[in-house]
Structure 1
Amino acid sequence: MTQQTAADTDLDEAQRAALDADIDALQQGARTWSHLTVGQRATLLRAVRASVAATAADWAGTAAGSKGLDARHPLRGEEWLSGPYSVLGALDAYIDTLAKLAEGRSPLDGVTIGRAPGGRTRVSAFPLTGLDRFLLSGFSGEVWLQPGITPDAARADAGLAQRTRGGEGGVGLVLGAGNITSIPVLDVLYELLAHNRVALLKVNPTQDALVPVYERALAPLIAPGFLRIVRGGPAVGAYLTAHRDLVHVHITGSAATFDAIVWGPSSGPKAGATTRRRRENRPLLKKPITAELGGVSPIIVVPGDWSAADLAFQAEHIATMRLQNCGHNCIAGQVVIMSSEWAQAEQFRAALRRAYAAAPERPVWYPGSPSRMQQAAEDYPDALVLADRLLIEIGEGEDAAALQTTEYFAPVLGVVELPGTGQEFLDAAVAHANDELQGTLGANLIIDPATEKSLGTGFERAIADLRYGTVAINSWTAFGFITPTLTWGAFPGNTLDDVGSGIGVVHNALLLDGVERSVVRGPFRPFPRSLPVLNGGGRLTILPKPPWFVSSRTAAGVSEGLTRFRAQGGMVTLVRTLLRALRA
């Protein structure tokens, strides 16, 4: 039991007793978990996979309905991909890792390991299966480890807590995200597998409707006491973060919420005490905490010689980075950085305006987002108002500080310009993103194959210089989020007092130690323009338009089909889905 404090006075005795009972059950579950072999844990995950597959349709439908997307809305497919599809992929990857460990092998057996700039080790973590090579041809992903970690050390340390049996990790608290429905589940899995901690999941109130779905999907973890799911607002969160029987906290949310947990309230009668604690480095929270907290993500557009089709496609790409889930994403691209000396700059601006305006309308549903949009409109009164969204084009002499330091978490996109072309522009854009934009979670970069080739080793050096936890080249960093064998989290180096985009990583199904970042690479041109005869040395892909694009006409059907195929297999399902994809 924990002593009652002022923070939990809104909870009555029955509520506290119910939470304590859940924690007591989890403590017993932690002892049971510690005695399971790696093989038994893999078997358990297979049972979880079956129950997630059985609830996939209900999961996606409930999530879409809670966000105001009716049965005919073209963007309903987002809830299939960012919900059950992501979890099924993670379970498959974790099962493979555990199976290797159970056989006495490293999770990196069969995985290509090489060198990256700056003395780093590079793990080629995607694709690892023939099916992924086919369906997502043109896309690849690497995990870069921190400088000094050798390939041999990477192999030896892969597996984290699963490399040793019998260690009891206790009970951790997961404060679930409120925007993407797979996040709470993925965070629970990482607690179990990376740290041997069973988990108490407090669902964000925005996802209360999904609790019955989660309970069915995760029943194999709930029954033996490895997971409990609770609802509640700030009072429940305060009670649990202070609970002495919870050994760790993981949060996906905002830096303001993190600071309130660690240091105390920043306003009101207790703000003075919070200031003193910070000054004296005396955190209010007495247990370790990890966090994923978002930020302002750049989209660097390197100037080149683009066709009209290139301009249109990449404009739709950028619109997707901002407008997927209505911009309520910690990884939504927010600031386009482009060259003022690019001969096609005005053409690209026009294409971006068209693509941004043409995306399907949808509700701005996340709490607080309308007020942040209003603040953006007040900060930039000349912004273009396009349906339910804002496009801010920073003019000469206009202050970009608010745009670059405020995570709007809403459909607000900005464009800033820097001088230069080629390597000069790229280096300046990287420095601008590192120094002027808030956060280090993810950065996006768009470059045509001919320009990338002309930069040579300077391009790889620039990628290494980007201080972001995920870097996406001709892709969106969300591809890194949805790929379980990649890692997700801020660039290393943040502290409790200056948390930035967070501390630690999640996902990481290869269970790698010493992670610095993930690097995603995608095709600059879609099919059929990705064919070698047309592509100028770029990557081949079979996708005419990725299903996560907000401009995809068949996204809902393709996303559902891919999830059903991931869940149940079946060549008929796959062929039908691919035919829909070709009509995107």
Structure 2
Amino acid sequence: MILQASRVILLVLLVILLQSAPSDSLSSLKRVPIQKMVATTTTAPSSVEDVDRIVTNVAAKAEEWKAVPVDKKVELLQQILKNTIREHDTWCALAQESRGVHPTDPRHGCARADIIVTGPAMFGSYLNGLISTLQHCSKHDGVPPPPRSVRKIEGIHKSVATLWPRTFLDYTESVGLKGELVLDDETPEQFSLEETCIGGVAGILGAGNIDAPTDILCQMFLKGRVCVFKPNPVNEKQHTVVAGKILEPLIRAGYLAYVCGGNDVGAALVKDSRMDEIVLTGSMSTYEAIKPLVKDIERTPICAELGGVNPWIVVPGKAWNARSIDQHARHLAFSRMSNNGHTCVGPQVVLVAKDWPWRREFFGRVRFWLGQHAGSPPFYPGSDKTHSYFSTVPKAEVIIDGEDAFDKQQRPILISNVLVTTDEENQKDTNSVLTREAFCPVLAEVPIDYTIGSNDATKYDSMAYLRSAIQYTERNCFGSLSANILIPDEEVQKHSKELDRIICEMPFGIVGVNLFPGFAYSLPMLIWGAPPGQPQSGIGFLGNAHGYKHPQKAVLRAPFQWLGRRALCIMSPQKTEKVMVRLGKYKMSPGLFTQLKLFAALFLGI
């Protein structure tokens, strides 16, 4: 009844508001040649000699940038946000051209939505989060915002700080979702902004799968460093507008510079002894290739954001029914298919109890929703070979429901009943589904040998099962970036303290509870990266805008029947694009009007 009443109220408000609202379409992009949109660019090809000169120029500005007052940095962030709002259509158009996405083809709506989410929407969210944080620091002598609440974790000398939501709009957006940090101390301690802004020079090797350069924002506005950024060749075209228009105030002032080119340019940047930190987003092979190039790893640490085989763990309970099965299966399929699976945080294996009564129904709905996704282009180099490989593994099904929307489209692959295979001599798992990151639309069912013993879920020890599943991932799955736990609210409430402890001890840097962990990337007060002591998915982290001294991992908690999950599920290409266009505008310009328009698209389809 409450939801129905809310829909009526929204409908009345929005019919009035939307009469005069500008269209969400990108029609202007259809008429303006891309070449005319981008007037200037700072992403011309660089030589090795250029790198030395550029680093010299940027390094000379390090002390000046470190000394820039917080108020001035807030003004710069606000200008960058204005530039993002002004140029986001151009940014998306360049990404469409780069990825091979048609600007108007209805079948390409999901692909256009991916571009919005991984570019302007994510960047706008991060910018607004940093602006809010630095404004608070400016008003409180450099002291960052305090946590909303803190709870101690008994027996393991850790605490959990709840950081998000903070504002009224956050609360109306989150509808029960919480963002937390696990801290390695019982009483949270925070650095001042002056203490975290240590200064120096950072060399950044950008990601190719997302366009939002949040790593630049972290290094410059949280660590006080000047930066030399090398975009990935995969999305170099998009950075003509990001560098030439959006980040222009930083580049014009000399605090940020771009270098472009191949491996030789990247190697020259990494090897430069003036670097105080190297930041990279990529694969383990990229990280291993870069490490020997750093002359002094103690002086120049590497912050590496890598991927892995990310598990989702399904915890049985009485609340599971046909409706919740469908909702979570739809959300899981969306999380795997987003960005054509070219996401380091995407789910790859789904752990379930072998004798869970809903097991067959759950994966039947997963299969259905994977097949309903319209598809996105396979734009990441090498993913075609990986996709082809996984299509041939035992029990793999390539799901083909309908015609391809893209050339060489990578259809989702669902692999059933994956078992551990062991090299007896070395006692190591050799099943590639568990040890090789797919980075494309591949999802595997992994049944856990844990006996429920009865169809009556009340006789079932959910925490014992969860511990068993986590131990399985530790033994058999490669990676330490993210995990998600699908668990009914009654189990969370019944075992709240034990669940807290289990999450704190999980060997993953971002943990979701009933939610795709990728959302954490858009919240600068959380952290992103592998946890300390678990280097399979990298070392170091991005974020921590509130300056906690001992952050361990980020946690996102959503209710089992979370209303916001409606935005993160498989929909038609037309509705997906409408919702994500509205989401992008809300994240760039958060306000009641943009939020109402987002809700109207999501719940009313208008």
Give the shorter-chain TM-score range.
0.7 to 0.9
Cα displacement string for residues 401-449 of structure 1 (whole angstroms, at most 9, x for unaligned residues):
2111100111111111112342332110111122221111110110112
Range 568-577 or range 466-475, more displaced: 568-577
Give the residue type in structure 2 aligned to 1:52: T
What secondary structure sits across from 2:180 in the alignment? strand
Deviations 1:12-32 (A, max 9, x none): x98233222221221222132
**2:281 pairs with one of 244, 252, 261:** 252
Are the equivalent residues in 2 in contact too, given 1:60–1:79 (CA < 8 A)? yes
Select 1:459's aligned residue among 476, 499, 502.
499
- CA displacement at 1:556 relative to structure 2: 1.2
Q: Report the counterpart of residue 560 of structure 1 in structure 2.
A: 581
Match of 2:308 among 295, 311, 331: 295
| Per-residue CA distance 1:329-381 (angstroms, 9 max, x = gap) | 11010000001021111111211111122211232221011111222233x14
Tell me the secondary structure at the aligned position of residue 272 of structure 2. coil
Counterpart of 1:196 in structure 2 is 224
Aligned to 1:493: 533
Partner of 1:122: 160
1:34 and 1:397 map into 2 onto residues whose CA distance is 52
Q: 1:134 aligns with which of 172, 182, 196?
A: 172
1:180 counterpart (210, 226, 230): 210
Query: Does the 8 Å CA contact 1:27/1:171 hold for their aligned counterparts?
Result: yes
Counterpart residue type for residue 365 of structure 2:
A
1:315 is matched with 329
Matched, 1:91 2:142: no
- Relative to structure 1, is the Cα distance of residues 14 and 219 closer, same or farther in structure 2, using a 3 angstrom cutoff? closer
- TM-score using structure 1 length: 0.85
Cα deviation 1:73-131 (Å, max 9, x = unaligned): 22122222221122222222222222222231521336333323522122211101110
Distance in 1 between residues matched to 2:49 and 2:352, nearest whole Å: 56
**Alpha-carbon offset, residue 484 of structure 1:** 2.2
Q: Indicate which of 359, 367, 373 corresponds to 2:387.
A: 373
TM-score (norm 2): 0.82
Percent identical pairs in the alignment equals 28
Kindly provide the amino acid, as one letter, of the partner of residue 246 in structure 1. M
1:462–1:31 Cα change, 3 Å: closer
- C-alpha deviations, 1:465-524, integer Å up to 9, x for none? 311111000001111122222111101114xxxx41111110222232221001101132
Aligned pairs for 1:124-523 within 5 A: 124-146=162-184, 148=185, 150-151=187-188, 154-155=189-190, 157-159=191-193, 161-162=195-196, 169-182=199-212, 185-215=213-243, 216-263=245-292, 287-305=300-318, 306-378=320-392, 380-387=393-400, 388-394=411-417, 401-418=431-448, 419-421=450-452, 422-494=462-534, 499-523=535-559
The answer to which of 446-455 and 342-351 deviates more is 446-455
Once the two structures are TM-superposed, the CA of residue 294 in structure 1 deviates from its matched residue by 0.9
Letter of the structure 1 residue corresponding to residue 159 of structure 2 = T
What's 1:74 paired with? 109
- Counterpart CA distance in 2 for 1:460 and 1:14 is 49
- Separation in 2 of the partners of 1:137 and 1:258? 39
Farther-moved stretch of structure 1 (229-238 vs 76-85): 76-85
**Pairwise CA distance, 1:548:** 6.1
Give secondary structure in 2 for the equivalent of 1:174: strand
Q: Does 1:59 align with 2:91?
A: yes
CA contact (8 A) 1:172 1:191 kept: yes
Map of 1:581 onto structure 2: 602
Kindly indicate whether the alpha-carbon contact (under 8 Å) linking 2:582 and 2:601 is maintained by their aligned counterparts in 1: no
Residue 52 of structure 2 corresponds to 20
Pair 386,440 (structure 1): closer, same or farther in 2 beyond 3 Å: same
Cα distance in 2 between the residues matched to 1:111 and 1:204: 38
From the superposition, tell whether residues 24 and 372 of structure 1 become closer, same or farther in structure 2 (CA, over 3 Å): same
Shift of 1:52: 1.7
- 1:395–1:288 distance in 2 versus 1, CA, 3 Å: closer
Q: CA deviation at 1:455?
A: 3.7
Partner of 2:75: 43
200-209 vs 344-353, which moves further: 344-353
Q: d(CA) in 2 for partners of 1:248 and 1:88? A: 25
Give the AA of the match of 1:108: P
Report the alpha carbon displacement of residue 553 of structure 1 after superposing the two structures with TM. 5.6
The gaps in structure 2 that reach 5 residues or longer are 1-44, 401-410, 423-429, 453-461
Alpha-carbon offset, residue 549 of structure 1: 4.6
Measured in 2, the distance between the counterparts of 1:324 and 1:247 equals 34
Distance across 2 between alignment mates of 1:162 and 1:53: 29
* Residues 304, 342 of structure 1: 8 Å contact kept: no
Q: Secondary structure at the match of 1:220?
A: helix
- Is the CA contact (8 Å cut-off) linking 2:283 and 2:306 kept in structure 1? yes
Name the residue aligned to 1:29.
Answer: 61
User: Which AA in structure 2 matches 1:563?
Assistant: G
Cα gap change, 1:238/1:550 in structure 2, threshold over 3 Å: closer, same or farther? farther
Tell me which residue corresponds to 1:535. none
Q: Does 1:106 align with 2:143?
A: yes
CA separation in 2, counterparts of 1:456 and 1:510? 26
Distance 1:408 1:485, change over 3 A: same
Please report how far the alpha carbon of residue 158 of structure 1 lies from its aligned counterpart in structure 2 after TM superposition. 4.7
Q: Name which of structure 1's ranges 22-31 and 336-345 shifts more when overlaid on structure 2.
A: 22-31
Shifted more, 299-308 versus 416-425: the winner is 416-425
Would the aligned equivalents of 2:161 and 2:182 in 1 still touch at CA under 8 Å? yes
Secondary structure of the equivalent of 2:237?
helix
> 1:330 and 1:260 mapped to 2: Cα distance?
19
**3-state DSSP of counterpart to 1:582:** helix
Q: What is the SS of the residue equivalent to 2:432?
A: helix
Rounded to whole Å, the distance in 1 between the matches of 2:55 and 2:420 is: 56
- Would the aligned equivalents of 2:373 and 2:572 in 1 still touch at CA under 8 Å? yes
| Counterpart code for 2:214 | L
1:576, CA displacement in angstroms? 2.9
Moved more, 455-464 or 129-138: 455-464
Given that 2:566 and 2:602 are in contact with CA atoms closer than 8 Å, whether structure 1 keeps it comes out as: yes
Q: Is the 2:48–2:264 contact (alpha carbons within 8 Å) kept by the matching residues of 1?
A: no
Per mean C-alpha deviation after superposition, the further-off stretch among 84-93 and 218-227 is 84-93
Query: Does the CA contact (< 8 Å) of 2:371 and 2:399 recur in 1?
Result: yes
**Given the superposition, is the C-alpha separation of residues 504 and 522 from structure 1 closer, same or farther in structure 2, using an over 3 Å criterion?**
same
Structure 1: distance between partners of 2:201 and 2:297: 20
For 1:379-405, what per-residue CA distance to the aligned partner results, in whole angstroms no more than 9, with x for missing partners?
x14311113121111356767721111
Letter in 2 for 1:116: I
C-alpha displacement at 1:284, in angstroms? 8.4
AA aligned to 1:323 is: M
What CA distance in whole angstroms lies between the structure 2 residues aligned with 1:397 and 1:467? Answer: 20
1:567 deviates by 2.9
Taking only aligned residues, the RMSD between alpha carbons, in angstroms, comes to: 2.5
